[in-house]
Amino acid sequence: MTISPAELSKLIPLIQDAGALLLRRFEARHFPDPGDEAGARAEGERRMKAPHEFVLEEDLMADKLLAEGIAWRFPDAGIYSEEMADWRRFREDKRLKFLIDPLDGTHNYHYGLPQWGIAVSLLDADNRPLAGFIHIPRYDLLLYNFTAGKGPTHENYGGRTRVITSSPRHQFSEALVAYDNQFYRLGEAAFARYQEIAKRAFTTRITGSAAFDAAMVALGKFDARIWNQVEPYDVAAAFPIIQGAGGVTCGLDGNADIDIFHGGMMVVGNREFANELAQAIR
């Protein structure tokens, strides 16, 4: 089974539909119509799925829309999502498969912050990313790459499409570096790394969304994003998108020979700055 770029492009409207659904619900939650008689904010259901981590009704709604839409278009492909109890089974699935994060940045979404999005990747039999989509609905932004990072990454912004390139900046003193959140589970080494980066970089950001940060690196707005530990669904779409924009996906030691299961990794605008970062955080 193969899936062509032309076939993959048919997923763009589906992903945008899921984004529109999330955006409508987000605005109803946090920016209700002043004409609403009760003036009440719409609150969907919420349940805890781990300490300091919950899932929203909107996670599940977007997940259902995406999974059903992909299954209808590609019935022979595997489909796995963060919201599936057994999503880790994808690692043994030798089919072409899609890996979905239907709402990355759930906590931002819940608290009314705009940094959240959708990430969808296509993986081969060996779980190498062949294609990636990142959609940031509040910014009307969609990035995609259908060439395993070997060809250019495209941006669809406000209905206009263009090829994008990541940041050429390589001086630490001029760099904006995004960093991990969820310090409660990262340990002292993560604090030490952050302190070292904060001393050297021009400025830092902790946005709480892997998809948003990866998009900003691909667009050249951020110079790097560091994860001390990360799940495959958070970064699989970023691999082809970052590489196709001219950036680097690598381990915390700067080694680019990594896969989506690596855990600690970073995406960086260019190789020279990746080397500098790796030296700083060893």
- Work out the angle between the directed axes of helices 11-30 and 57-73 (0-180°, nearest 10): 170
Does residue 72 surpass a pLDDT of 60?
yes
- Is 234 annotated in a binding site? The answer is yes
- The DSSP line for 154-184 is EEEETTEEEE--------GGG-EEE----GG
| Average model confidence (pLDDT) across the chain | 93
- At 36, is the pLDDT very low, low, confident or very high (cuts 50, 70, 90)? low
pTM more than 0.85: yes
CA distance 277 to 253: 8
218, two tokens: 């691909």
Q: Where are the domains positioned within the chain? A: 5-160, 172-281
- Is 101 annotated in a binding site? The answer is yes
* Sequence-separated contacts (24+) of 69-78 with Cβ below 8 Å: 69/11, 69/14, 69/17, 69/18, 70/11, 70/14, 70/98, 70/100, 70/120, 73/7, 73/10, 73/11, 73/14, 74/3, 74/7, 74/98, 76/1, 77/1, 77/3, 77/122
- % of the chain with per-residue pLDDT over 90: 83
Supply the pLDDT for residue 80.
96
Supply the pLDDT for residue 270.
98
- Is 103 annotated in a binding site? The answer is yes
Does residue 40 surpass a pLDDT of 90?
no
Does residue 236 surpass a pLDDT of 70?
yes
Say yes or no: domain 172-281 is CATH 3.40.50.300.
no
CA distance 136 to 120: 12
- At 186, is the pLDDT very low, low, confident or very high (cuts 50, 70, 90)? confident
Say yes or no: domain 5-160 is CATH 1.10.3720.10.
no
Supply the pLDDT for residue 39.
45
Q: Of 245 and 184, which is predicted with more confidence?
A: 245
What does the pLDDT look like over 121-160, one tens digit per residue? Answer: 999 999 999 999 999 999 999 999 999 999 999 999 988 9
